């Protein structure tokens, strides 16, 4: 099933010059980037994004971190893209993330785990709406992978 998921390249990865490498992995997998922008996350956006973690010990630092330096926000579309992106990202704690995943390859630490990805259809819809307007979705084009699949139908 075609899904949309919200992905953010976090401030640590932006500062460390990893934007290109992370986007390459998403493109190489064959997913479609239908929206992309660099932005400074507002306090309001951070609170909405991480509402589920409000009150946890790491919450204040998480908000401080996500609002500290720009992020690169994306909407990614593809077959089972929500779980697929979580697999490409690797486990939340990079120390436990498999080698070959983005977190496993690019970070040793939980607080600097380089990428965010929605964890289910409801959070994807909610998170996309925090960062993007519907008119920001670029949907009127086809990737080479989509064209390839169409030819085989
Ligand atoms: N115990 C923790 N200590 C520090 N930071 C944490 C901790 N748990 C979660 N975080 C941070 O909060 C983010 C959101 O947590 P969570 O939703 O559980 O993980 P994920 O980003 O894999 O969906 C994590 O990506 C990480 O940056
Ligand atoms: Mg999460």
Q: 148, 153, 138, 149: which is closest to 32 by C-alpha?
A: 138
For the chain, strand residue ranges (E) read: 2-9, 32-39, 71-79, 115-117
> Domain containing 7: what range?
2-151
β-sheet bridge partners, residue 32 = 77
β-sheet bridge partners, residue 117 = 7
Q: Band of the pLDDT at 90, cuts 50, 70, 90?
A: very high
Reduced to 3 states, what is the DSSP secondary structure of residue 74?
strand
111 lines ligand 1 (CB under 6 A): yes
Measuring from atom 5 of ligand 1, which residue has the nearest CA? 111
The structural domain count of the chain equals 1
Q: Decide: pTM greater than 0.85.
A: yes
24 lines ligand 1 (CB under 6 A): no
**DSSP assigned state of 77:** E
Tokens, residue 149: 């699949």
Q: 27, 5, 32, 21: which is closest to 105 by C-alpha?
A: 21
Q: Residue 20: its pLDDT value, please?
A: 98
Residues in contact with 15: Cβ distance below 8 Å, sequence separation at least 6, in sequence order: 69
What is the tens place of the pLDDT at every residue in 62-85?
A: 999 999 999 999 999 999 999 999
CATH classification of the domain holding 111: 3.30.70.141
Q: Residue 153: its pLDDT value, please?
A: 86
| CA pair distance 4, 126, nearest whole angstrom | 11
What is the tens place of the pLDDT at every residue in 3-50?
A: 999 999 999 999 999 999 999 999 999 999 999 999 999 999 999 999
Mutate to test the pocket of ligand 1, among 12, 71, 92, 122 (most ligand atoms within 8 A of CB): 92
Average pLDDT score, the chain: 97
**DSSP assigned state of 35:** E
- Selected catalytic residue, list 4, 10, 25, 116: 116
Output the CA–CA distances (angstroms, integers) from residue 76 to 22, 55, 60, in the order listed: 13, 30, 28
110 lines ligand 1 (CB under 6 A): yes
What is the tens place of the pLDDT at every residue in 100-109?
A: 999 999 999 9
């Amino acid at each position: 099933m075609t899904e949309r998921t919200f992905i953010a390249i976090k401030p640590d990865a932006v500062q460390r010059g990893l934007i290109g490498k992370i986007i390459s992995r998403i493109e190489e997998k064959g997913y479609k980037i239908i929206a992309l922008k660099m932005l400074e996350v507002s306090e309001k956006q951070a609170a909405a994004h991480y509402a589920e973690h409000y009150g946890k010990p790491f919450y204040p630092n998480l908000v401080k971190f996500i609002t500290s330096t720009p992020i690169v926000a994306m909407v990614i579309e593809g077959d089972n893209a929500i779980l697929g992106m979580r697999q490409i990202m690797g486990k939340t704690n990079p120390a436990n993330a498999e080698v070959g995943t983005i977190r496993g390859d690019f970070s040793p630490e939980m607080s600097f785990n380089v990428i965010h990805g929605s964890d289910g259809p409801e959070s994807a819809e909610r998170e996309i709406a925090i960062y993007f307007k519907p008119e920001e979705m670029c949907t009127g084009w086809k990737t080479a992978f989509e064209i390839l699949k169409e030819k085989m139908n």
